[in-house]
Amino acid sequence: MPEPSASSSDPVEDESKRLPRPVVALLAALFLTSFASVGQVTILGKQVFDMTGRPFDLGMLGLAEFLPAFVLAPVTGSVADSFDRRRVYAISLAGEAVFSLGLWAYVATGPTALWPIFVLVVLFGVARAFVAPSSRALPIDLAPTHLVERVVALRSLSYQAGTISGPVLFGLAFLLGRSVPYLVATTGFVAAVGALVFVGPTAVARLARATGYRQALRDATDGLRLMRRAPILSGAITLDLFAVLLGGAVALLPAIATQRLNVGAVGLGWLRATIGIGAGCAALTLSFRPLRRRVGPVLLAAVAVFGVATIALGFTRNFVVACAALFVLAAADAVSVFIRATLVPLATPEEMRGRVLAVENVFIGASNELGAVESGLAAQWLGLVPAVVGGGVGTILVVIGFWFWVPALRNVNRFAEARVDHG
């Protein structure tokens, strides 16, 4: 009887490489979440800028999105560690759907006042604050140990697929009516809740402590103490904070599209989608060839490339060049996000992931939404081009500083080095 050839596939090995069904369902929910949220925020930016024509209001929109995450960080992290993260994610998505429906109802009236939009955005941000730590911890909770890097890359790919399709389809929906995109967003969030039905509970240890805001503050302080004791953890998070805080040009895309590139809602949708395409290409590459060596230097190089591409975006008046700059910017950012999304959970005990990721979400919110505030104020006071170009230059200076002042991050070679005992 002939021996099986060496090239024959091993069923046991094939099974070990297959993604568990709960992971697949979670990836679908993550795609739908990013599709709805990124598409909606793209149209919200255009809606606000069309109503006032002021970059400052784009910054205030970012502030409205950030404040709930900042105020509720102690509570959201504790909740994600104390309860089934799948249920926390689903309930929070349902809240996002309700407030998106509120935006649809208000915009359908042909509004002239901004404050109801900001109120609804703040309420949406409350739900989003609970989404972040639970949804970001779940991929690590569900992934088999030998598939962690692959699942993290696929998580990023699912998110980026939503950021590609969302802005394009929402831009087209905007042509059908200014309120239509918010109805599409509501549908997307509801569908994401449906996908989570197929994600079973995990065996992750739960936080068993007294409840209340004071206890939640103590729990959040535990997360901060852990970050302070782990220089790799704190370095990765603060690098993202300072770099994207300065390089928050994406928030100014509605102004760039109108004032620099002379394109409308569809053109803006494609600009925002280009970010998803660039990040998606990087995520797809990482899903097939996960980064395994020179993690720290690659992280710093990716952030530097992000800064260079931001400078190019600030100077150009050409739509194609702007798309190319956004593609490179987003690809570099996706590499940075992949590294941080792998380092941070691995460097955190599983029973503390919700708290640490909630604190990190404040930093991410600060770098994105507060970056939008900084960019909006700078564009209002200095002009659009100086604001964008200056942010790119500042990002490069931050990378240089981290290279010399945070050697623990620069010297990380493999992800496994982040897996330390915090007991």
Confidence (pLDDT) at 292 = 78
Confidence (pLDDT) at 295 = 87
Confidence (pLDDT) at 250 = 81
CA 312 → CA 88, 276, 308, 351, 393, distances in Å?
41, 18, 7, 43, 11
Confidence (pLDDT) at 13 = 46
Task: For the chain, list the domains and their CATH numbers.
Answer: 18-201+218-418 (1.20.1250.20)
pLDDT in tens, the chain (423 residues): 444 444 444 544 455 567 888 888 999 999 999 999 999 998 998 889 889 888 888 888 878 887 887 788 778 877 877 788 888 999 999 999 999 999 999 999 988 899 999 999 999 999 998 988 888 778 877 777 677 777 877 887 888 788 888 888 998 999 999 999 999 999 999 999 999 988 877 656 555 554 455 655 665 566 666 666 667 767 777 787 777 677 677 878 899 998 999 998 889 989 988 988 898 888 788 877 878 788 889 999 999 999 999 999 999 999 999 999 999 998 998 888 888 777 777 766 666 666 666 666 666 655 566 677 778 888 888 889 999 999 899 999 989 988 988 888 888 887 767 664 444
* Cβ count near 323 (within 10 Å): 21
Confidence (pLDDT) at 331 = 92
CA 346 → CA 109, 140, 232, distances in Å?
48, 8, 11
Confidence (pLDDT) at 319 = 95
Q: Give, in degrees to the nearest 5, the angle at Cα 46 between 252 and 326.
A: 40
Place of tokens 């915009």: 107
Confidence (pLDDT) at 364 = 62
| Rounded (10°) CA dihedral 46, 52, 55, 56 | -130
Query: Which ranges of 197-348 would DSSP assign to H, the alpha helix?
Result: 213-229, 231-246, 253-255, 265-288, 295-315, 319-346
Confidence (pLDDT) at 12 = 44
Burial (0-12, 13-18, 19+ Cβ within 10 Å), 215: middle
Q: 354 and 78 in contact (C-beta within 8 Å)?
A: yes
